[in-house]
Structure 1
Amino acid sequence: MDLYESVLLVKPEVFVYNIPPRSSNRGYRAADWNLSEPSWTGRMRLISKGSELAIKLEDKNSGELFAKCPIDAYPGLAIEAVSDSSRYFVLRIQDDNGRSAFIGVGFGDRSDSFDLNVALQDHFKWVKKEKQISEEPKGPTLDLGFKEGETIKIKMNISKKDGAENSKAKLKTTPNVGLGLLPPPPSGKAPAQPGVSPGNSPAHIRQEPQTSNDSWGDFKSAQLGETSQASSTNTNWVQF
């Protein structure tokens, strides 16, 4: 896999010093470097490529490489802090032929040296974590794919009863539109049911018994007989 180069930190100004050999085991001291007269001034970039890390000292304007410091651990021999200041470090630079030398570098502001410390620590924390992950035992992988010729069957139970119940429910919830279109009766009462007559209809009025026409006919016949007789009598009386 191709790895890309990443820029972790850029500082536009860094000072480089020629340092004397270490005289004792107490460490390097920046006070021994003649800090007022740096031998070179330029730009510093912290570059990573996978787990590899390096500091590149470059020209501010042209970007030409002045020196390169590969870093395999921090703290370590590649970069070491001085004992009397937090703004200065000792770098072990190397060329393409494998030759190495020690130089002193420093910053004009303490925040620049703090940023360099943080970037170095973060990188090696990441390297350590990646190494732990790669060394963890991996469990057996499950092959969930179908083998050649394998098939799968899916049974789906669809109940017709459910569909019928849904249809009945829809019929129950459907409003009776036809009844809503009929106007109410004038009296405000509900219309009579078919086959039932209202209480005040002629069918519910009690009918009185009527006198037979035959009796009334006999009474008229009797009257007519008496009248005929009287007429006959009168007639006879007139003739007499």
Structure 2
Amino acid sequence: MEDYEAILLVKQEVFVFKIPPRTSNRGYRAADWNLSAPDWTGRMRLLAKGTECILKLEDKVSGELFAKCPVDTYPGIAIEAVSDSSRYFVVRIQDDSGRAAFIGVGFADRSDSFDLNVALQDHFKWVKQSQEIEKEGTTEEAAKPRLDLSFKAGETIKINMKIGKKDGDSVSKPKAKTLGGLPPPPGGMRLAPPGGAKFTDGADGGFKQQSEPQQQQEWGDFTSAGPSTNAASPKAPVSSNWVQF
């Protein structure tokens, strides 16, 4: 993922000075500059993109870039404090072709220079910690034994899959209740009465026997099971074709 640009510090007023070349190994001195007449005045922005840090000097109104200073470390040669004041620095600016020059930068308020010091120190402290964490992670990963998850010869794996009904599956219809353990006759089929008698549906929902010329008694008048009045010629018992419902 590409790193985004973060703003570490913004100061709305900063002074820029042309400085004479350093003639000895001793540090720069702000007293050697013409502090009463800055050569340029504008704003300063300190930006970070990943581990990179850059200080930009821009116009207050238009935001046009005046100069930029890539900072690779701090304290370092890119931004160096002067020896006689805490409000002024020597900054190494660079153009796109890589040419470099040194200018003096200062603030009217001492707290502004303090904020610049803190912002630079915090950024490079974070860079150092990130590098150490990355280095430790690489070392631990290299030292960690690799876990072998491959199947050995003869090894198998057992998977217990429980597949439930999906939405929309048809639900089984409840079974019809039966009487006496037997299912009802299909289509409401009725049994024929004994003796070939015919019946029709009555008004009260029951059965009514139809009159037949050869049948004088209604179905249901059965011969008594007791002894016959005619003892001389006993009749055979009448078989009742009654069906148990």
SS at match of 1:45: strand
SS at match of 2:140: coil
Q: Matched residues, percent identical?
A: 70
Query: TM-score, normalization: structure 1?
Result: 0.60
Report the counterpart of residue 138 of structure 1 in structure 2: 140
Instruction: Give the structure with the higher percent helix.
Output: 1
- The answer on 1:21 being equivalent to 2:7 is no
Which stretches in structure 2 are left out of the alignment for 5+ residues?
Answer: 161-245
SS at match of 1:126: helix
SS at match of 1:138: helix
Structure 1's 151 and 14: CA in aligned 2 closer, same or farther, altered over 3 A? farther
Report the counterpart of residue 105 of structure 2 in structure 1: 105
Report the counterpart of residue 10 of structure 2 in structure 1: 10
Q: Residues of 1 paired with 2:159 and 2:124: CA distance?
A: 50
Report the counterpart of residue 74 of structure 1 in structure 2: 74
Q: Deviations over 1:12-68 (max 9, x none)?
A: 000000000001111100001110000000000000000000100000000000000
Letter in 2 for 1:53: C
Matches within 5 A, 1:179-218: none
Structure 1's 144 and 82: CA in aligned 2 closer, same or farther, altered over 3 A? same
Q: Residues of 2 paired with 1:12 and 1:70: CA distance?
A: 20
Q: Residues of 1 paired with 2:158 and 2:63: CA distance?
A: 64
Q: Residues of 1 paired with 2:37 and 2:49: CA distance?
A: 34
Q: Deviations over 1:65-107 (max 9, x none)?
A: 0000000010111000000000000000000000000000000
Report the counterpart of residue 120 of structure 1 in structure 2: 120
SS at match of 1:70: strand
Q: What's the C-alpha RMSD, in Å, of the aligned pairs?
A: 2.2
Structure whose alpha-carbon radius of gyration is higher: 1
Structure 1's 152 and 129: CA in aligned 2 closer, same or farther, altered over 3 A? farther
Structure 1's 151 and 126: CA in aligned 2 closer, same or farther, altered over 3 A? farther
Q: Residues of 2 paired with 1:63 and 1:88: CA distance?
A: 23
Q: Residues of 2 paired with 1:141 and 1:65: CA distance?
A: 53
Q: Residues of 1 paired with 2:157 and 2:126: CA distance?
A: 45
SS at match of 1:42: strand
Q: Residues of 1 paired with 2:109 and 2:95: CA distance?
A: 29
Equivalences, count: 153
Give 1:141 deviation, angstroms: 7.4
Letter in 2 for 1:120: L
Give 1:116 deviation, angstroms: 0.4
Q: Residues of 1 paired with 2:126 and 2:158: CA distance?
A: 46
Report the counterpart of residue 87 of structure 1 in structure 2: 87
SS at match of 2:46: strand
Which stretches in structure 1 are left out of the alignment for 5+ residues?
Answer: 154-240
Q: Residues of 2 paired with 1:123 and 1:151: CA distance?
A: 54
Q: Deviations over 1:150-191 (max 9, x none)?
A: 4467xxxxxxxxxxxxxxxxxxxxxxxxxxxxxxxxxxxxxx
